[in-house]
């Protein structure tokens, strides 16, 4: 396998995007969805409409209208080289490598330390697809295909399973018994029931699978999946 897949927590992290054209903007938007400490974009061009909107909305985003300078890398932990100037991108990649900073090279991925996957998020559920740079267009097609298979109901499904998991683990039963229940629920028709707004079916299913100690909580969990407002 060419790359090691991981999910990165951006809390407290300073991110730098050099070159805020079409590709840079996509990377900035992706970063800002994950709550970093700060995203700084550096580009000599005036900010585009998309960037101006982000600047108005996001307190943790700043834009510096000037070319890249080596000192930009002093505080950055995660860097994206997205300029249209191959020599500038190469220099960023080289310095990051020397300093041990994670760097995404948008025009020469083989010289960077990581690539981005195409992603679908449904609350805490993340589905990522990567072709390791072989064909981003294929990653995009597969992402769109999976988006229809795993719809918005998977956000509530994931939250429900997380709540049940916390409660079940607190009962202190054997992990073998717990695993059996988690696997049954995860493979059940819960997504269909949520999508079809079938609260009754959901109640029935949870009663049939969960131990009686948890039955008093089922109503509250279903309320969360089927809000009445
Ligand atoms: C290696 C990587 C490095 C990185 O950026 O991390 C990289 C590199 C390059 N992309 C290029 C082109 C395109 N990129 C896209 C789209 C996406 N590119 C993304 C990631 C990645 N792109 C990483 C590998 C991911 C993987 O392989 O799985 C996605 C998944 C995520 C994101 O960017 O957030 C996002 C999809 C988001 C979505 O829709 O879900 C499209 C599709 C389109 O626009 O229709 C095209 C045009 C079609 C095509 O070329 O396939 C070029 C050539 C530029 C040129 O022509 O010169 C290079 C440079 C090179 O290959 O050398
Ligand atoms: N990884 C990916 O997903 C993709 C990568 N690419 C590659 O990414 C690069 C950028 O593509 P686009 O965003 O479409 O180009 P673009 O022309 O829209 O944006 C490039 C930006 O870099 C800025 N720039 C130029 N010199 C700079 C410097 N010294 N310091 C800071 N900023 C500088 C320009 O002002 C411009 O705003 C290209 O090399 C392209 O081949 C293209 C498509 C997808």
Tell me: do 123 and 138 sit in the same domain: yes
Question: Which pLDDT does position 229 carry in this prediction?
Answer: 57
What distance in angstroms lies between residue 9's CA and the mean position of ligand 1's atoms?
Answer: 22
Sorted by sequence, the CB contacts under 8 Å of residue 166 that are 6+ apart come out as none
The finding on whether 67 has its CB within 6 A of some atom of ligand 2 is yes
Tell me: do 146 and 207 sit in the same domain: no
The finding on whether 28 has its CB within 6 A of some atom of ligand 2 is no
Tell me: do 199 and 132 sit in the same domain: no
Q: Of the ligands numbered here, which is closest to the C-alpha atom of 26?
A: 1
Domain-located, residue 1: no
ipTM of the complex: 0.95
The finding on whether 19 has its CB within 6 A of some atom of ligand 1 is no
CATH number at residue 54: 3.40.50.720
Sorted by sequence, the CB contacts under 8 Å of residue 150 that are 6+ apart come out as 120, 122, 125, 127
Tell me: do 37 and 107 sit in the same domain: yes
Q: Of the ligands numbered here, which is closest to the C-alpha atom of 108?
A: 1
Yes or no: say if 209 and 181 are a contact pair by the CB < 8 Å rule: yes
Tell me: do 41 and 92 sit in the same domain: yes
Which is the closest atom of ligand 2 to the Cα of 109? 1
Domain-located, residue 198: yes
What distance in angstroms lies between residue 66's CA and the mean position of ligand 2's atoms?
Answer: 14
Question: What's this model's pTM, rounded to 2 decimal places?
Answer: 0.94
The finding on whether 83 has its CB within 6 A of some atom of ligand 1 is no
Helix and strand totals (H; E) in the chain: 9, 7
Mean pLDDT split into 10-residue runs, the chain, 229 residues: 95 98 98 97 97 97 98 97 98 97 96 96 97 97 98 97 97 95 98 96 97 96 83
Structure tokens given for 204: 């029935």
Q: Give the separation between CA 221 and CA 218, rounded to whole angstroms.
A: 5
Tell me: do 102 and 184 sit in the same domain: no
Residue 200: Cβ within 10 Å count: 10
Tell me: do 84 and 127 sit in the same domain: no
Nearest C-alpha neighbor of 146 from the set 158, 129, 162, 170: 129
- Domain range for 40 is 14-116
Domain-located, residue 171: yes
What distance in angstroms lies between residue 161's CA and the mean position of ligand 2's atoms?
Answer: 42
Q: Give the separation between CA 119 and CA 142, rounded to whole angstroms.
A: 10
Tell me: do 74 and 87 sit in the same domain: yes
Task: Count how many domains the chain has.
Answer: 3
Tell me: do 19 and 108 sit in the same domain: yes
Tell me: do 108 and 142 sit in the same domain: no
Tell me: do 141 and 109 sit in the same domain: no
Q: Of the candidates 150, 170, 202, which is a domain's last residue?
A: 150
If DSSP codes are grouped into helix, strand and coil, which group holds residue 128?
A: strand
């Amino acid at each position: 396998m060419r790359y090691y897949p991981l999910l990165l927590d951006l809390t407290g992290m300073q991110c730098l995007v050099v070159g805020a054209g079409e590709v840079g903007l996509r990377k900035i938007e992706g970063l800002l969805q994950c709550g970093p400490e700060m995203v700084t974009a550096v580009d000599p061009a005036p900010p585009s409409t998309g960037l101006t909107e982000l600047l108005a909305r996001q307190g943790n985003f700043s834009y510096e209208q000037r070319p890249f300078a080596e000192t930009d890398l002093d505080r950055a932990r995660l860097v994206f080289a997205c300029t249209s100037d191959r020599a500038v991108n190469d220099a960023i990649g080289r310095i990051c490598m020397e300093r041990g900073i994670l760097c995404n090279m948008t025009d020469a991925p083989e010289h960077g330390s990581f690539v981005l996957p195409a992603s679908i998020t449904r609350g805490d559920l993340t589905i990522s697809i990567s072709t390791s740079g072989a064909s981003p267009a294929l990653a995009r097609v597969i992402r769109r295909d999976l988006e229809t298979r795993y719809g918005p109901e998977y956000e509530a499904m994931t939250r429900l399973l997380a709540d049940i998991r916390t409660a079940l683990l607190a009962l202190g039963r054997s992990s073998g018994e717990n695993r059996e229940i988690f696997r049954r629920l995860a493979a059940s028709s819960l997504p269909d029931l949520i999508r079809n707004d079938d609260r009754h079916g959901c109640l029935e299913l949870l009663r049939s699978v969960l131990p009686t100690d948890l039955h008093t909580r089922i109503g509250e969990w279903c309320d969360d999946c089927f809000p009445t407002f």
